[in-house]
């Protein structure tokens, strides 16, 4: 399976601009089976979602469906969503082409340090998605710091983490991506933004990390993409030879 990660600057609270930026990057990249965008890539991460968050089935989700159909590929990325019950969620959509059912994951570990708990409601379910023979686990940004939440019980092959991870904590980002890949014997797709918003500076660090902890990354601070074919035969062989997942606590 070929995957493409989109490292982009996110225009603050401007969905149409961000749709256009993402579309250009995706169409310029190698044709892939999966394209992954950062956390709240359509607006930037805001702790005050009122008036910014989209309803379920909003314009950004419709755009993702259109791109999935256009590219015959899955498209993933998180969006602030306002639900009918009045709650707000940081929701990671995994959109497959032609299918009406959309898989999604609501961020479980909200970032209280940055104020995310003030207006958002956490999700409480693990979400795995099957796509073209590969099992994906979904997570968002701060979730990456919680290994028990992301523990691989031999139920996924690739961990997707979409993020808005500040430049000041980039060392932690890189270490945690590698740690999750090594301990879970999986690929990790870590997608981060660049640029700035009213809260932070971002330098990217978007990476495809293999099960041995080795990363292929976008250049820091540049709008770019990284594309790679995931070697599932190699992953399977490694798991059979060195059965970490069968010996977990």
Name the residues annotated as catalytic.
39, 107, 141
Cα–Cα distance between 208 and 1 in angstroms, integer?
A: 13
CB 32 within 8 A of CB 73: yes
Burial letters for 103-124: b for 16+ Cβ neighbours within 10 Å, e otherwise? bbbbbbbbbeebebeebbbebe
82 three-class SS:
strand
Q: What angle do helix axes 15-28 and 59-71 make, rounded to 10 degrees? A: 10
What residue has token string 């993933």?
Answer: 76
């Amino acid at each position: 399976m070929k995957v493409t990660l989109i490292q982009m600057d996110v225009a603050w609270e401007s969905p149409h601009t961000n749709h256009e930026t993402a579309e250009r990057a995706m169409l310029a990249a190698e044709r892939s089976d999966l394209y992954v965008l950062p956390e709240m890539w359509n607006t930037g991460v805001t702790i005050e979602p009122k008036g910014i968050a989209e309803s379920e089935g909003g314009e950004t989700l419709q755009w993702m469906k259109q791109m999935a159909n256009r590219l015959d590929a899955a498209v993933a990325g998180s969006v602030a969503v306002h639900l009918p019950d009045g709650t707000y969620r940081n929701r990671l959509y995994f959109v497959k082409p032609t299918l009406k059912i959309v898989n999604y994951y609501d961020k479980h570990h909200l970032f209280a340090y940055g104020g995310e708990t003030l207006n958002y409601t956490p999700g409480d379910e693990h979400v795995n998605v099957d796509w073209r023979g590969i099992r994906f686990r979904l997570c968002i940004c701060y979730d990456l710091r919680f290994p028990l939440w992301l523990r691989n019980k031999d139920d996924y092959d690739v961990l997707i983490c979409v993020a808005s991870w500040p430049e000041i904590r980039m060392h932690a980002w890189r270490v945690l991506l590698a740690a999750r890949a090594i301990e879970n014997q999986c690929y990790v797709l870590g997608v981060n933004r660049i640029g700035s918003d009213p809260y932070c500076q971002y330098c990217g660090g978007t990476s495809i990390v293999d099960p041995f902890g080795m990363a292929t990354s976008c250049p820091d601070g540049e709008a770019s993409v990284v594309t790679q074919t995931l070697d599932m035969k190699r992953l399977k062989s490694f798991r059979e030879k060195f059965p970490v997942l069968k010996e977990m606590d």
